[in-house]
Structure 1
């Protein structure tokens, strides 16, 4: 399987979720199953069936997070020296050429993307258009709402 790029913050977030699932969620659901089992007949025991379903979800998520971490290539953008180019992990300040509006995005892995927080997936149209560009370059992005033109104001590696 190919390695999937992940920022340090993204890897830490996944590790924290995994820790919580294993140390809090899993023991809680195991206790709920034991308590529901104590109530007798399991065929008609809604609490038991709900707890078993939740246990399946938690175990599935643990496997999913472990697989993501195992296949992650954690990239520390602060240790790269891309010479001013936009690369994975870079934070980019842009100006919309038409409106003059300024926006900041960080290019992150697919699992970390959250547009509300300015985190765009490396496979998104805007990230693909930005990769390799430098401060002062203009970029044409083919967005679902039509083409948008941006000027790269600054590239930071934080």
Structure 2
């Protein structure tokens, strides 16, 4: 598996935006595709946030994850977030999500980010616990109960 940044492959923005829209926005009606597309297209930092990391296998896009700034309005004091971890359906179960999380953590360390937060609908913490993320609290986020978690990046 190889990684690159959306900043280095902007042609991937439409695919990532479609994944994100279908996964998190289509059914809820929270955001339009155009809004998601604009948000994805702006995540082009090469150091720090906002950044989208792309995962490819044999040159084919298989997943994406984000290093974000202040993802949840109710937590303005939490600056940097891991979010948008998505693996296309046919590539799931192959360790892509874990590899993406590791890469975003590496990118956060490279940028000098000390604490990284995330929200997950998996209230147990799911795969994130194996990377040192610990539960802070459960909250209602736009009608969905989520676990807010934090990890030190090791900087």
TM-score, with structure 1 as normaliser: 0.25
- Greater per-residue strand proportion: 2
TM-score, with structure 2 as normaliser: 0.25
Larger radius of gyration: 1
Structure number with the bigger relative contact order (C-alpha 8 A, sep ≥ 6) is 1
